[in-house]
Every structure is written in structure tokens, then in C-alpha cells.
Structure 1
Amino acid sequence: MELADRAVGFILSVISISIFTYYTFWVIILPFVDTDHFIHKYFLPREFAILIPIFAGVTLLSLLCIFIGIVMLKSKKKKA
């Protein structure tokens, strides 16, 4: 089981580092590259650089609030 946990941890680390590198390049370095350069076809438009994190944050916050609400309702039922 420990090997499986290490494999999952490694995969999650590689995915998060890849996303961080892609986003950092997209937001910080790409604006300084000419717009007719071929590298631009591998990235979404710049508007999405703001919209995607906002959507992810709102979704995460909503799921967290729903989870806390469900836990509070279940703990109320156990006391009654």
C-alpha cells in the first residue's frame, strides 16, 4: 500500500508542477513573445488566464461550503 501511495503522490506532484509551469509561462512570459510566434497556438487566449482560476476558486469554495453544511446537518441529527 505504501508503494501505491507514493505512486499517487508522485503523479499528483508531476501534474501540479506541470500546471504551475504552464500557467506561469502563459501569464508571465507569453505576453513578451510576439503575437505571430508559433508558441501562441499552444495557449488559450489571455482572458482565460483570469477566468479559469476564478471559476476554480468559486467552485472550490462552493464545494467546501456544501461539505461544511452537510457535516453540520449530520452532527445536528446525531445530537437530537
Structure 2
Amino acid sequence: MELADRAVGFLLSLISLSMFTYYTFWVIILPFVDSDHFIHKYFLPQEFAILVPVFAGVALLCFLCFSIGFVMLKSKKKKA
């Protein structure tokens, strides 16, 4: 089981690092590259650089609120 946990942790770390690298390159380096360069076809337009993290943050906040609310309702039913 320990090997499987390490493999999952390594995979999650690799995915997080690749997403961080992609986003950093997209937001910080890409604006300084000419707009007709071929590298621009691998990235979304710059507007999405703000929209994607905002949408992910709102989705995470909603998920946390619903989870906390569900746990509070479940614990209230156990007391009654």
C-alpha cells in the first residue's frame, strides 16, 4: 500500500508542477513573445489566464461550502 501511495503522490506532484509551469509560462513569458510566433497556438487567449483561476476558485469555494453544510446537517440529525 505504501508504494501505491507514493506513486499517487508522485503523480499528483508531477501534475501540479506541470500545471504551474504551463500557467507561469502562459502569464509571465508569453506576453513578451511576438504574436505571430508558433508557440501561441499551444495556449489559450490571455483573457482566460484570469477567468480559469477565478472559475476554479469559485468552484472550490462552492464545494467547500456545500461540504461543510452537508456535514453540519448530518451532525444535527444525529443529535436529534
Q: Same fold (TM over 0.5)?
A: yes
Alignment correspondent of 2:11: 11
Deviations 1:15-61 (A, max 9, x none): 00000000000000000000001100000000000000000000000
Gaps of 5+ in 1: none
Task: Using the TM superposition, give the Cα deviation of residue 73 of structure 1 relative to its aligned residue in structure 2, in angstroms.
Answer: 0.2
Alignment correspondent of 1:58: 58
Provide the aligned C-alpha RMSD in A.
0.3
1:45 is paired with a residue whose SS is coil
Point out 4+ residue stretches in structure 1 off by more than 4 angstroms. none
TM-score normalised by length of structure 1: 0.99
Task: Using the TM superposition, give the Cα deviation of residue 77 of structure 1 relative to its aligned residue in structure 2, in angstroms.
Answer: 0.4
Q: Identity over aligned residues, as a percent?
A: 82
In 2: Cα distance, 1:45 partner to 1:60 partner? 23
Gaps of 5+ in 2: none
How many residue pairs get matched? 80
What is the one-letter code of the residue matched to 1:79? K
TM-score normalised by length of structure 2: 0.99
1:46 is paired with a residue whose SS is coil
